[in-house]
Structure 1
């Protein structure tokens, strides 16, 4: 296992919860990178939202211009 996975599976709630925070931050950063990549390649907000399983409005609000 990786250190983050080991920490996430820890019996110590403080360690496990810190791992949850780290994973959320990583997932948010990866999402931002891939949304930017998709937009650069001409994907619509709807196409991105469909792949991520969210509404177009939520995707545009989270990643739209000025964000």
Structure 2
């Protein structure tokens, strides 16, 4: 879903259209999070720092993204 289409979908009165837009937003947020976590790890950020920035525990973010071999492990 493109940005313009997504914005229009969020304003739709059809719940199916709105819910598809929500799903697209969730997928986009997951992709942005994965890229950002990988970048932070490459720059030497600890899991605790990343968790703090995301508002979650270090255990939570490590469990979700720790499989990546990018960056140092701490």
Q: Normalization by structure 1: what TM-score?
A: 0.92
Give the C-alpha shift of residue 66 in structure 1.
5.6
How far the C-alpha of 1:3 sits from its partner, in A, is 2.1
Structure possessing the higher relative contact order (Cα contacts under 8 Å, 6 or more residues apart): 2
TM-score by length of 2: 0.84
1:34 is aligned to 36
Unaligned runs of 5+ in 1: none
Q: Which residue of 1 aligns with 2:72?
A: none
Match of 1:48 in 2: 50
Q: Deviation of residue 62 (structure 1)?
A: 0.2
The equivalences for 1:1-67 within 5 A come to 2-65=4-67
Give ranges in structure 2 of 5+ residues lacking alignment. Answer: 70-74
Structure 1 segments of 4+ aligned residues over 3 angstroms from their partners: none
Q: How many residues align?
A: 67
